[in-house]
Structure 1
């Protein structure tokens, strides 16, 4: 069976990022659908005529629409990708779910506030539509291997996770928050500060999404440190995971996986914990393109009537953590307990 795909939004993550020579390809929704034999892009919608034309020529898509509702009405689609600005995710997802599609593959962050995210999850549940959110590292073999080693207690009992990222709390921080939950479970409370203090606009919007740092306390007692910055003149996304019997370090923006375990040969008699950690040689981890894996997961969820690797509820939880950081900043660094009470707190990511 070939799954018929429609894409709403022709910007960077939809198609344009394929022009970036430093990225692993495919790195866009269109690129991934084009690479997976079971999917075919039948239609695309965007309000920008130039982007529509460029997308159509690049991917050979003949059915183009300036109105996505017209596309949803006229085309018989199985999967819809929502790759617009975040502020439009809720409205588009709601209309797509009602149109009869089988799955919606939505970009992160899922929404601008919890109220929107809840509406998206609810309508997809009601219409029996699979809602998958593109926190793409869920499909990365390195992070999946890290979870496997943690679950198998290869590094003993988990004690802490530290994450580093560049850019805003919603635009990139949600990737890290999603990984934190993936690796260590749900969060009980957070404390945070940001690079730019946030001021409420008269219309209720948070107009900026600064980066920030903070502390995350998991329900299982694990400590998490979040270190984000938009001021860095370089790109970084790294996760450092510590346990009682070792360490997992995924560095180089996810390109290098390291497992550190105690050196049983060298011991320091002057310390209560005498073993230093050494880099353990492990079997090569087979790499697979994250975007292709994500699209295949969407298909699998439809075929098997199962949940995907990153559901709408997962996307909501990652958003909630980012918003809790914003809330802590607003409250002068106060501890913010989860679940977050303010479902209307809205932040528009850059």
Structure 2
């Protein structure tokens, strides 16, 4: 069976070394980084990498057996010379659109892009256009979409375990680009990627300029998301960590501790007067598995069959619309904002040093 040639652009934390930070974690089943996923997948071969930092790239090459002659400081040269089938873009959001568009226009057939999708809605639009025009299989690194745990939760909701879905609640939202890109995508996934009608949000740190096209920080945000099918979602900032709850007219299902535990309650008769209340009901979970590997396998399946991926550029764009919708709502004093936005030029542009990856397993002697 055909093996697909893969290359990673951005050899740092998510590109190659985050596995060291989560070794032994119940929440993150290896492989977790892009490179580790390609090495683990029997249908892919990691053949090249690119990064501006040669020291980081050298350690990446040592770990994943990428020889010096296939380590590039110019990703364009790498794509032209190596002609990979699949490219991972594991950079920060600011340069991502330029890289994805170049890859799409220069022979790459599948792209695994880290989240958030891009630094602006205008750039995300350009990515969608390029990916769709060239027929590229595309997935964004919002990994819970490929987690068996949330796949199991979605299946329960779809078969009516809570009755008619009315409300979704995420109890941990964090910064919009880095963290909420995960939670927003999870809300979209659990609601079958229904269109979002409007959002209403608050950014408590008040560090977002009220005017101008430059966003100098990745802000923390919380708010409400209303879907076209009538479901309302609430993205909260709490200390509970990532927990998500689905509430319907016949019960509720909550994934606790990022899906490690479950609380399932169904509406049942609770007394002689036939009054109903929510009663705890057994709910069997599923074994976790590597969401990174499953995401890559989804790309491989798309390359094999021509079928769409579970993600895709339009799904990624929907998450971006929510991020910028939250910012727009805050700029308008917390007003309700309808999506899609007409203003698409606001751009994340930070002045931060690149993250130094953890080259060794955390806590190891």
* TM-score for the superposition, normalised by structure 1: 0.92
CA contact (8 A) 1:268 1:275 kept: no
Q: State the match for 1:35 in structure 2.
A: 40
Q: How does 1:216-295 map to 2 (within 5 A)?
A: 216-228=225-237, 236-264=241-269, 266-267=270-271, 269=273, 273-282=275-284, 284-295=285-296
Q: Secondary structure at the match of 1:253?
A: coil
Q: State the match for 2:348 in structure 1.
A: 347
User: Structure 1: how far apart are the matches of 2:44 and 2:262?
Assistant: 31
Q: State the match for 1:59 in structure 2.
A: 64
Q: Secondary structure at the match of 1:294?
A: helix
User: Structure 2: how far apart are the matches of 1:202 and 1:161?
Assistant: 32
Q: Secondary structure at the match of 1:192?
A: strand
User: Structure 1: how far apart are the matches of 2:13 and 2:154?
Assistant: 30
CA contact (8 A) 1:323 1:347 kept: no
User: Structure 2: how far apart are the matches of 1:92 and 1:240?
Assistant: 36
The structure 2 residue matched to 1:25, chosen from 27, 30, 46, is 30
User: Structure 1: how far apart are the matches of 2:173 and 2:156?
Assistant: 27
The structure 1 residue matched to 2:104, chosen from 90, 97, 110, is 97
Q: State the match for 2:220 in structure 1.
A: 211
After superposition, the Cα gap between the structure-2 partners of 1:84 and 1:258, relative to the gap in structure 1 and judged at 3 Å, is same
Q: Secondary structure at the match of 1:262?
A: strand
1:52, CA displacement in angstroms? 0.6
Q: Secondary structure at the match of 2:172?
A: strand
Q: State the match for 2:113 in structure 1.
A: 106
1:89, CA displacement in angstroms? 0.7
The structure 2 residue matched to 1:145, chosen from 152, 157, 170, is 152
Q: State the match for 2:357 in structure 1.
A: none
User: Structure 1: how far apart are the matches of 2:154 and 2:211?
Assistant: 43
Q: Secondary structure at the match of 2:96?
A: helix
Task: List per-residue Cα deviations over 1:116-164 (Å, max 9, x = no partner).
Answer: 1111111112222112111111111121122212221121111111102
The RMSD of aligned alpha carbons is: 1.9
User: Structure 1: how far apart are the matches of 2:216 and 2:275?
Assistant: 49
User: Structure 2: how far apart are the matches of 1:281 and 1:181?
Assistant: 23
CA contact (8 A) 1:121 1:131 kept: no
User: Structure 1: how far apart are the matches of 2:208 and 2:225?
Assistant: 23
User: Structure 2: how far apart are the matches of 1:331 and 1:201?
Assistant: 8
Q: State the match for 1:309 in structure 2.
A: 310
CA contact (8 A) 2:224 2:235 kept: yes
Task: List per-residue Cα deviations over 1:217-250 (Å, max 9, x = no partner).
Answer: 2212222111036xx5xx7111111111111111
Task: List per-residue Cα deviations over 1:72-120 (Å, max 9, x = no partner).
Answer: 1110210000001111110000111111011011111110111111111
The ranges of structure 1 where at least 4 consecutive aligned residues each deviate by more than 4 angstroms after the TM superposition are none
After superposition, the Cα gap between the structure-2 partners of 1:274 and 1:9, relative to the gap in structure 1 and judged at 3 Å, is same
User: Structure 2: how far apart are the matches of 1:144 and 1:296?
Assistant: 15
* TM-score for the superposition, normalised by structure 2: 0.89
- Are 1:190 and 2:195 an aligned pair? no
- Are 1:130 and 2:130 an aligned pair? no
1:279, CA displacement in angstroms? 2.8
Structure 2: stretches of 5+ with no match in the other structure: 353-365
User: Structure 2: how far apart are the matches of 1:183 and 1:92?
Assistant: 30
Q: State the match for 1:12 in structure 2.
A: 13
